[in-house]
Structure 1
């Protein structure tokens, strides 16, 4: 809406906006986080831009980067504030950081350009797409390709499939095919299965909801499904996965919050080997570890299975010269 900023709350709402029939419409998307004061400063800049008459056709959107991680990851947003200038679903420009002059300049440049259809991006080769799909179907022992997420299914078939898996306490991961058209279309050919959801076990296609129902009726389904571990047992195994284990938002190569990014920088300076776990990808671990460790925030650092604390503790240890000793487990 011209003259205001629309805060996008769900993935489906976002994709509906940016895949609007008018592929040349300019959307300016502000990826923000509540903890980043620079984002609040840039809110005032964006507010000024929305009031400019020559920008009345521009849509200004806000996306909380950590609340909608699939969108952030899709566009490789690794810090906040980040501004993407989109025409349709195509990124035409990008501004990282609280750089008001650059943002203003680039928004005006894109808004005043002639309305021309951007050239289509070259399609990935079949070989590259098949390689990506093969990795995806092997992401987890039990992998569900569905419309939406297990928490928010976007079709009745996906909802019933999730309910069936949960009925048997199944440990499974999922992929939202609505968020990636390439995967959505490519997997149909890859699996020779035209509809969704699709369930894979050990990288092999089992089928859709109708097949799962048949297997359930004959008693064949439950033995095929990997079961969830007891949560405390699972958490115990995770924190002992490596001598130095980090639970964070994102990964070492793609931290998804300022605290996690700062921590990775400190650890990398020590030269130590460590493993990370992305709590944004597993809500059960994200919530369960808070109770298990009696520590309410992330990141969390474990040495030899014992909690050290969060970023504030690591900074204190660094300042007092005790960090190396602590990371050695002494």
Structure 2
């Protein structure tokens, strides 16, 4: 069973037991399909799984479908997060507290948590040859500037990746200082800042955009 950057939806008690008894610390979300607040926590875990899956594994379990497991862990409300190491519950977060969940995940993530912000930002800006930091993602931009930028990039046909700054306040604030560029979106080519939407529009109007994006 792999869990590389994803939250495993538990389908059986056996699968649950295998997950929580694994060598990796397992972050388990006790959830309910009808609870809107669980979706918010699930989304946060999906993002955390992308950056911490080398140290932690993530799972969700519908509490009502597994009453014995829920009773054992005194699940009285959803969402509830429990952190397991080799079968033992070591941490717990009750309710929608994404900041606390994130902090505990990073703390338990070991070396990832010890990575400096600058190292993390350097790694993120080099993650793809063409990297976009924006509000939302390429499929669902969440501001007009980001939407316009994605339209322009899609016209070039060049491959690129996006990072949603709304899901990570540390990156959102840190990148402004790291790049000395106060606004979003920000576009990086091979780890070097090209600029924001205004620069991209200028490059497009002077027919220099594709060359600049290829680095």
Coarse TM-score class (shorter-chain normalised): 0.5 to 0.7
- Separation of aligned partners in 2, 1:142 and 1:290: 33
CA deviations 1:69-99 (Å, max 9, x no partner) are xxxxxxxxxxxxxxxxxxxxxxxxxxxxxxx
Deviation for aligned residue 1:189: 3.9
State the match for 1:259 in structure 2. 145
Confirm whether residue 199 of structure 1 aligns to residue 75 of structure 2. Answer: no
State the match for 1:47 in structure 2. none
User: Between Structure 1 and Structure 2, whose CA radius of gyration is higher?
Assistant: 1
Deviation for aligned residue 1:186: 2.2
State the match for 2:102 in structure 1. none
The answer to whether the 8 Å contact 1:247/1:300 transfers is yes
Deviation for aligned residue 1:188: 5.7
5+ residue gaps in structure 2? 1-5, 11-18, 20-24, 31-46, 50-59, 94-105
Q: How does 1:9-28 map to 2 (within 5 A)?
A: none
The answer to whether the 8 Å contact 2:130/2:189 transfers is yes
State the match for 2:62 in structure 1. 186
Q: How many residues are paired up?
A: 152
State the match for 1:280 in structure 2. 166
The answer to whether the 8 Å contact 1:142/1:225 transfers is no
Q: Which of 168, 186, 193 is equivalent to 1:300?
A: 186
Q: Give the secondary structure class of the aligned counterpart of 1:134.
A: strand
Distance change (3 Å), C-alpha of 1:230 and 1:315? same
CA deviations 1:201-222 (Å, max 9, x no partner) are 79x98637479xxxxxxxxxx9
- Separation of aligned partners in 1, 2:90 and 2:65: 15
Distance change (3 Å), C-alpha of 1:235 and 1:289? same
Distance change (3 Å), C-alpha of 1:143 and 1:302? farther
Confirm whether residue 134 of structure 1 aligns to residue 20 of structure 2. Answer: no
Q: Give the secondary structure class of the aligned counterpart of 1:289.
A: helix
Highest RCO, 1 vs 2 (Cα 8 Å, sep ≥ 6): 2
State the match for 2:198 in structure 1. 312
The answer to whether the 8 Å contact 1:235/1:285 transfers is yes
Confirm whether residue 243 of structure 1 aligns to residue 134 of structure 2. Answer: no
- Separation of aligned partners in 2, 1:327 and 1:268: 12
Provide the aligned C-alpha RMSD in A: 3.9
Q: Give the secondary structure class of the aligned counterpart of 1:297.
A: coil
Distance change (3 Å), C-alpha of 1:320 and 1:210? closer
State the match for 2:34 in structure 1. none
Distance change (3 Å), C-alpha of 1:323 and 1:133? closer
5+ residue gaps in structure 1? 1-131, 147-171, 175-183, 212-221
The answer to whether the 8 Å contact 1:243/1:304 transfers is yes
- Separation of aligned partners in 2, 1:241 and 1:201: 30
